[in-house]
Amino acid sequence: MKISGAEIFVESLKREGVKHIFGYPGGVILNIFDLLYDDKDIQLILTRHEQGAVHAADGYARSTGRPGVVLVTSGPGATNTITGIATASMDSIPLVVFSGQVPTMLIGNDAFQEADIVGISRPCTKYNFLAKDVKDIAKIVRESFHIASTGRPGPVLIDLPKDVTSAKAEFIWPEIKIRSYNPTYEGNRWMISQAAHLIAKSRKALIIAGGGVVLSGAARELKELAEITELPVTMTLMGLGSFPGSNKLSLGMPGMHGTYYANKAIQDSDLLIAIGMRFDDRVTGKLDAFAPNAKIIHIDIDPTSIKKNVRVDIPIVGDVKRVLTVLNRILKEEIKEQWGEVRKAWLRQIEIWKQERPMTYTYSDEVIKPQFVVEKIYELTKGDAIISTEVGQNQMWAAQFYKFDKPRMWLTSGGLGTMGYGFPAAIGAQISHPNKLVIDIAGDGSIQMNIQELATAVINKLPVKVAILNNRYLGMVRQWQELFFGERYSHTHLEVVPDFVKLAEAYGAIGLRATKPSEVEPVLKEAFKIKKTVFMDFVVHWKEKVFPMVPAGAPIDQMLFEEVKEKPEKKLKAVK
């Protein structure tokens, strides 16, 4: 029996196990929306902006490991997804985005709501495709899920012209055969054995774990490697949670806002074991001064990531989990090295760096320090919450002061640094984890970029919590102006910040506010008890900066630290 392309599409999604789609309707995609109207298996979550839909699907994917699914209309609906797609692409997040398209005969004619979304999205998708024949729809859906979630994961976009989804064909669920797509999963055995020997010989080795460890589900194997070799581990922003932040071998995050001790250890190390990370400039700082004495082992599923930014002595292309399994076995069974004094001396040196400059800040009794809010969130949740962030200082403080012990509990836009990411991402994570505490740690600037999703959270009765570190500034940019532009605050003072409590209430959510340090804990406790969407407005010290900081382009051990004595504040006239 022949059925419509729209029906084939919906049936294909069911075969892929899709339970939730994030989307927004429009004319050319209406036939699919109509089918989803009373579907019992798939729930469509209507966001208030297509960008929100993609970030929500992204949060869903990061917190579950399954691809997030998006359905939007053509033209503006499709172009509104681009920031979300680019965000997912930079962080290797599996997404499948379906956009409606005008009928094939109108494509290229500047038809109403036509945009060349395949062309526009090409540089920021792993794969994209225009469906031209109704008979291909099932195959395209199947392949797009496969491509999005295997190898180095990433977003896939499929454009669905109206006439193709209206045409009819038999439903056939095909096998996947993609000739040109063959990711390498098994690392080269000889290279892995060379890596094991190098690790055995090293005196001051260090593991740098990235988002690839999370994506490949290799947290257990990473912990085993650290335990066998007794080596310290630093986790990139994307790698937070891949190794327990509270473990004594953890050095926290490296790089621009990383810990003093992680950066010192990198610069002093004789071997870097880089796992599922891509030597982003925020990690390396000045490239030719990066880890000057270290040999580098680089394990990554994507061969194009290896040797892109740094010289590599032992490249291993493969799935991190599989490579680490083999590496650990060789270290245990063939090498059986006891490092004894050598390792003790290295760990002692690191301990000294930890004591010299611990990750800290100046506490105040009078004004709320943003770091204090993050610390309190960690203390009260005991680390058992899914944390998303916006972008800016809020993101860095969350990374520095919340200890992530488990993977997939940390959702942040690392590569693209997308303001407006955190709230919709938290919505997506809450949909996939209805009983978990999900908190978006936000800046007052970023939250306003997708604040309309309050409606999505309220309608779906999502108990998402948003902790706004409200400094009335675009804080991170203000920090740069303060350090590098002589305190000329060009267009970073927000002047009008909405009353977040009233705004939450206007949407039917709950709003709470803390203006003094003593109010922080009661506000958090109350918010965590409420089973509804809650905005918490923490009115924080406006001038606080994120330290340590490596100025852009400097070597990573040339860090700026917080001044011990605070200068008297210069009052800006518009600041409350």
Ligand X SMILES: Cc1ncc(C[n+]2csc(CCOP(=O)(O)OP(=O)(O)O)c2C)c(N)n1
Q: Rule CB under 6 A: which residues touch ligand X?
A: 390-394, 417-419, 443-446, 469, 471, 473-477
Active-site residue among 253, 256, 409, 476? 476
Main-chain dihedrals φ then ψ at residue 127, nearest 5 degrees: -165, 145
Active-site residue among 7, 90, 98, 162? 162
Buried b / exposed e across 32-43, counting CB within 10 Å, b at 16+? bbebbeeeeebe
Nearer to ligand X, 374 or 527 (CB): 374
The owner of tokens 């729809």 is 137
Give 132's DSSP letter.
Answer: -
Active-site residue among 11, 16, 19, 113? 113
Q: How far apart are CA 415 and CA 91, in angstroms?
A: 6
Q: 476 an active-site residue?
A: yes
Give 365's DSSP letter.
Answer: S
Q: Closest separation between CB of residue 538 and ligand X, Å?
A: 11
Nearer to ligand X, 346 or 473 (CB): 473
User: Rounded to 10 degrees, what is the CA torsion of 376, 382, 383, 388?
Assistant: -40
Q: Cβ(7)–Cβ(30) under 8 Å?
A: no
CA atoms within a 13 Å half-sphere pointing along the CA-CB vector of 4: 13
SS (H, E, C) 308-354: CCCCCCEEEECCHHHHHHHHHHHHHHHHCCCCHHHHHHHHHHHHHHH
Q: Which residues are paired to 101 by β-bridges?
A: 161
Q: Cβ(152)–Cβ(127) under 8 Å?
A: no
Nearer to ligand X, 328 or 418 (CB): 418
Query: What are the C-alpha distances in Å from 464 to residues 14, 337, 571?
Result: 27, 48, 35
User: Rounded to 10 degrees, what is the CA torsion of 466, 467, 471, 475?
Assistant: -80
Nearer to ligand X, 251 or 536 (CB): 536
Q: Closest separation between CB of residue 551 and ligand X, Å?
A: 16
Q: 113 an active-site residue?
A: yes
Nearer to ligand X, 445 or 463 (CB): 445
Q: Closest separation between CB of residue 466 and ligand X, Å?
A: 12
Nearer to ligand X, 347 or 477 (CB): 477
Q: Closest separation between CB of residue 501 and ligand X, Å?
A: 17
Q: Closest separation between CB of residue 289 and ligand X, Å?
A: 25
Q: Closest separation between CB of residue 445 and ligand X, Å?
A: 3
Q: End-to-end distance of the chain based on CA atoms, in angstroms? A: 69
Q: Closest separation between CB of residue 250 and ligand X, Å?
A: 24
Nearer to ligand X, 185 or 542 (CB): 542
Q: 112 an active-site residue?
A: yes
CA atoms within a 13 Å half-sphere pointing along the CA-CB vector of 462: 30
Q: How far apart are CA 142 and CA 567, in angstroms?
A: 61
The owner of tokens 């985005």 is 97
Closest residue to ligand X in the complex (CB): 443
**Which amino acid does the sequence have at 281?**
D
CA atoms within a 13 Å half-sphere pointing along the CA-CB vector of 564: 1
Active-site residue among 2, 14, 105, 112? 112
Active-site residue among 9, 33, 50, 376? 50
CA quadruple 274, 275, 279, 283: dihedral sign: negative
Question: Could you tell me how far CA 372 lies from the centroid of its own chain?
Answer: 23
Helix (H, G, I), strand (E, B) or coil at 540: strand
Q: Closest separation between CB of residue 421 and ligand X, Å?
A: 9
Nearer to ligand X, 44 or 86 (CB): 86
Q: 162 an active-site residue?
A: yes
Q: Closest separation between CB of residue 84 and ligand X, Å?
A: 11
CA quadruple 550, 420, 466, 251: dihedral sign: negative
Closest C-alpha among 175, 98, 93 to residue 142: 175
Q: How far apart are CA 280 and CA 239, in angstroms?
A: 12
Q: Closest separation between CB of residue 215 and ligand X, Å?
A: 23
Nearer to ligand X, 138 or 398 (CB): 398
Q: Closest separation between CB of residue 531 and ligand X, Å?
A: 27
Nearer to ligand X, 44 or 504 (CB): 504
The owner of tokens 């190098």 is 198
Q: How far apart are CA 89 and CA 125, in angstroms?
A: 6
**Which amino acid does the sequence have at 46?**
L
List of E strands, 9-54: 20-23, 43-46
Between β-strands 168-170 and 2-4, what pairing exists: parallel, antiparallel or unpaired? Answer: antiparallel
Nearer to ligand X, 507 or 538 (CB): 538
The residues annotated as belonging to the active site are: 50, 112-113, 162, 476
